[in-house]
A and B are shown apart, each in its own frame.
Chain A
Amino acid sequence: MSKISQWVSLLILGMLFAVGLSGCQPQDDAWQTIQRRGVLRVGLDPTYPPFENADTGELEGIDVDLARALGETLEVEVTFVYFGFDGLYDALATDQVDVLISALVEDISKTRDFAFSDPYFNAGQFLFIHQDAPEKSLTMADMENHLLAVELGSEGHVQSIEWSRKINGLEIKALPTADDALWLVTQGEAHAAMVDQISGRLYRQNFPELAMVAEPVTVEPFAIVTRIDDQSLLEAVNDGLAQLTEDGTIETILHRWLD
C-alpha cells in the first residue's frame, strides 16, 4: 500500500470513528447516583385516593405500594416528598425528587423535559355490566339498541355522545354520579355503565354482581415520570416495572386497593 493510500485509509478510519462517537449519547449517571445514595426520592401529591392519600395521617395508596415495591426490586430505599398537584413537574425539574409516582397521565407535550415509563395502570373509561348479563363480552360496538348509563358531564358521557353518532339506537341515560350510573346496571335498568376504571372497581367492592369488560373504551395511561436526561434511571424504572408485572406484584397491589 502506498504512503498516500495509507494516509487516506487512516483519514477515512478517523472520520468513521468521529461519526461513530457523535452518534453516542453521553451516559448519564442518574441511576448510579441513586444507587450510591441508596435512596430513590419519589414526588407525589397525596390527595388522590386510592392512589395516594395522607388524610389519615399515614401515607398510603396504590402509588405508595408501587413505589415501595419498585424500591425493593431496585434495591434502594424509597422516601416520599409531598407537593401540590400543580407543583409536581417543577419539583422534578428542579431536582427536588428523582421520579414522580402520582397517578400522572402520559403527556406528549412534556416530553422535551420529561420521560414517561411504561404505563402501569389504565385510568380510562370501561364498560361495567351485570355479571348475569347474557352478553359477557359486550363492547361499545355491540351497544346498538342498548341503554348505557353514564355520569352526567363526565368523560364517559362525552364518549357516549360520540358513540351515539356511530351506532344505531344507543340510548344514553346521564345520572348525577358514577355510582348512580352503576347502580342502574345492578338493578337491570341499563345494559351497561361507562365509567372510569377507578370509580367502577371501587363501586364494585360493594356490588360484586358487576363485571368489568376487559377491553377499555378509552386509554388514560398512568406512568412514572423522570427527567428526560435521566435515561439510565428510566431504564431501571422500566426494568423494575416489567419485573413487578411479571411476578404479579402490580396486579396484587391494584387488587388490594380497587377490588
Chain B
Amino acid sequence: MLLLYLLRPAPDLVTVGPPQTVESSLPILAVHTRLADEVEEWKIKRSLEMVREMGATSIVEFFPWAYYHDNSGGIAWEHPDLVVNHAHAQGLKVIARLGFSPDWVRPEDAPLNYLDESGYDDFAVFAAAFAERYKGKVTAIIVWNEPNLSFEWGYRETTAADYVGLLRQTHAAVKEVNPSIQILGGALAPTLEPPGSPWGLNDLIYLDEMYQAGAADYMDGLAVHTYGFKFPPEFEPSPDVLNFRRVELLREVMVAHGDAEKKIFITEMGWNDHPRWTRAVKPGQRIAYTLEALEYTAAELPYVEVAAIWMFRTPAPIKSYMDYFTLVTPEFIPKPIYLALQERATAGQE
C-alpha cells in the first residue's frame, strides 16, 4: 500500500481555479495576448490573471491552425484548451484569431501564411470544430490576419474577392455549429500600398472591394488594426495618413455600403516606445497617448466594441522594437503603462 501511495501520480500544480469576474470602468479595454508560444501553464494562467487585474474585459489571441491539425483530421486541443479555459475562468471574453496553414494544405516550401482556394474548405472545417468546442467561451473568430498584406497572404496577390471566398466558406461552416459566435472580417492592416503594389493594398480600398465582393453577408463585424505611430491620438484622420483615427475612415466605408449596424473590433492598437525605432514615441508619450485614445474611443466611437492593445507580454524577449509594444515583461514585471491602464480601468471599482 505504501508503495502504491508513493507511486501515485503527482497532483496538478496549476489548476484553472474558481470563476472570476472582471471589474472594469473601461469596458472597451482589451489586450492582444501572445500565448500561442507560451508552453508553461502557470505562465498562461498568470498572464490572464494580470489581464483581468488590469481591468481588460477581453483578450484577442492567435490560435495557429498549423500547430494543432494533422492531415488525418486529428486536432491537438491541449494547448488551446489551456488558453481558453483559463481565460474563461478569469471572466475574460476570448476573440480568437485563426490562421497559419498546416503543411498538408499548402505547396512544399510555401510559407505558413499561404492558403489558396483549394484549402479554404479545410480551414472552414477547423474553424467550425474550434467554434463548436469553445461554444460560450470564445465570443468571436477573426478569419485570418491582415489579408491585405502580401506577407500575411502567403505572398499571393492580395485580392479582396479571394479573401471573401475564405470568409464565406468559414462563415457557413461555423454558423452551422455555433450560430451565436461572431465572425469578424479582416483584421485589416493599416497600409497605404496602392493597387498593384507587390506588398499589399490600402486598407480603405481593400475594405471597399470586400463589400463589392459580398463580404457583408459573411461577417458580423470588422476587425481592424489601428496604430498611432508618431501621431497623437487626436490627430485628424486622412486617407493618406496612418494614425489611430484611421478607424473612422474604415467606418465610413462600412456606412457607405449600408453596414452601419455592425461593430468594429480594434484587435490591435497602440504606440511603441523603442529608443531607436523611427515610428516610436517617448515612453511617457506612449502612456498618455494610449490612455487618451481609449478615452476618445469610449466617448466618441460608439460603434467600436473593443480596443485591444498590442501586446500584453511575450514568452521571451524578442530583442527588437517589438519588445517595446508590451505591457508586462517576460518575467511578469508590470511596465508603468500597465499600471496606468490598471489605475484608469479599475477606478471606482471595489
Contacts and interface: CB of A to CB of B under 8 A. Distances in A.
B316 A151 contact: no
A11 interface: no
A78 to B, nearest CB: 22
Interface residues of B, number: 23
B284 A47 contact: no
A85 B287 contact: no
B333 interface: yes
B257 interface: no
A153 B287 contact: yes
B329 interface: yes
Given A47-B276, A161-B333, A161-B334, A152 B287 contact: yes
A47 B321 CA distance: 14
Given A85-B277, A157-B336, A161-B333, A109 B316 contact: yes
Contact of B319 (A109, A154, A162, A196): A109
A152 B319 contact: no
A177 B284 contact: yes
Contacts of A106: 319
B305 interface: no
B129 interface: no
Contacts of A105: 319
B220 interface: no
A174 interface: yes
Given A85-B277, A109-B316, A109-B319, A153 B334 contact: no
Contacts of A109: 316, 318-319
Contacts of B329: 158
> Max chain B CB contacts within 10 Å: which of A157, A158, A176?
A158
A146 to B, nearest CB: 19
A107 B319 contact: yes
B165 interface: no
Contacts of B335: 153, 157-158
Nearest to B333: A162
Contact of B284 (A86, A103, A152): A152
A48 interface: yes
B21 interface: no
B108 to A, nearest CB: 21
Nearest to A153: B283
Interface in A120-156: 151-154
A220 to B, nearest CB: 10
A176 B273 CA distance: 13
Interface in B204-260: none
A85 B284 contact: no
Contacts of A174: 284, 336
Given A85-B277, A161-B334, A177 B282 contact: yes
> Max chain A CB contacts within 10 Å: which of B275, B283, B286?
B283
Given A85-B277, A177-B282, A153 B318 contact: no
B281 to A, nearest CB: 10
Contacts of A48: 276
Contact of A153 (B278, B317, B336): B336
B161 interface: no
A47 B337 CA distance: 26
Contacts of B277: 85
A154 B278 contact: no
B333 to A, nearest CB: 5
Which 3 residue pairs of A and B lie closest in terms of their CB atoms, listed nearest first?
Answer: A153-B283, A107-B319, A152-B284
29 contacts: A45-B276, A47-B276, A47-B278, A85-B276, A85-B320, A85-B321, A103-B276, A105-B319, A110-B319, A151-B282, A152-B283, A152-B287, A153-B283, A153-B284, A153-B287, A154-B273, A154-B283, A157-B336, A158-B333, A158-B335, A158-B336, A161-B336, A162-B333, A174-B336, A176-B282, A176-B284, A177-B282, A177-B284, A196-B275
Interface of A: 45, 47-48, 85-86, 103, 105-107, 109-110, 151-154, 157-158, 161-162, 174, 176-177, 196
Interface of B: 273, 275-278, 282-284, 286-287, 316-321, 329, 333-337, 339
